[in-house]
């Protein structure tokens, strides 16, 4: 796993794209602080850059570094969730501008997968995580179902967990600073 993490970090530091197994589905990732890298993800997915992407962090400390104020309720939601949960927060900071939604929000998930946690922790920056599909196509539930255009469009494909099957996307919850909660995707 260390060799895979080091290869990913080299690609990420150079503004490249990785295809990697997350705590949910296979994802396309890049340095979430690099606008050019984020733009490459939008181009590869053939997705409008007005559609926000998810960002993964390694731990609560990294979350707090990139969100102006993490509501206390967020920690309860993460602790009580039975599956990986992405939370949309107000007022992100230190993130590529084209990753931030028009309403000044950012979707963030604290990675629960060992590989992702180690990778992001060693990289020391958040990583974009978006499903490995062309926008509008179904999310692949296994590595074998990933479109050739995606496989060819990234700079590095992680050689771990390729047999992982039947993964599902995370829950998405919008949590405003006034503690208003809205379920976007269960």
Query: At 10, which CATH number?
Result: 3.90.870.10
Strand, coil or helix: 81: coil
* DSSP secondary structure, 150-182, as one string: HHHHSSEE--S-TT--S--PPEEEEE-TT--EE
Domain that holds residue 51: 2-185
Q: What is the pTM of this model?
A: 0.92
The gap from C-alpha 161 to its chain's centroid, in whole angstroms, comes to 17
What is the full per-residue pLDDT of the chain (186 aa) written as tens digits? Answer: 899 999 999 999 999 999 999 888 899 999 999 999 999 999 999 987 667 899 999 999 999 999 999 999 999 999 988 888 999 999 999 999 999 999 999 999 999 889 999 999 999 999 999 999 998 898 888 889 999 999 999 999 999 877 666 567 788 889 888 878 888 887
Number of domains in the chain: 1
Cβ(84)–Cβ(24) below 8 Å: yes
Cβ(148)–Cβ(154) below 8 Å: no
């Amino acid at each position: 796993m260390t060799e895979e993490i080091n290869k990913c970090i080299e690609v990420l530091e150079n503004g490249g794209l990785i295809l990697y197994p997350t705590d949910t589905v296979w994802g396309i990732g890049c340095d979430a602080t690099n606008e050019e890298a984020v733009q490459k993800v939008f181009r590869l997915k053939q997705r409008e850059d007005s559609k926000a992407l998810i960002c993964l962090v390694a731990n609560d400390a990294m979350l707090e570094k990139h969100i102006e104020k993490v509501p206390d309720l967020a920690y309860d939601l993460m602790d009580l969730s039975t599956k990986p949960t992405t939370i949309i927060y107000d007022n992100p900071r230190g993130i590529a501008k084209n990753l931030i939604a028009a309403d000044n929000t950012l979707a963030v998930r604290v990675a629960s997968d060992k590989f992702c946690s180690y990778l992001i922790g060693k990289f020391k920056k958040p990583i974009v995580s978006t499903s490995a599909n062309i926008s509008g196509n179904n999310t692949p539930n296994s590595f074998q179902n990933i479109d050739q255009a995606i496989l060819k469009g990234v700079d590095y494909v992680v050689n771990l967990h390729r047999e992982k099957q039947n993964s599902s996307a995370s829950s998405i919850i919008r949590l405003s600073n006034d503690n208003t909660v809205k379920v976007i995707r269960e």
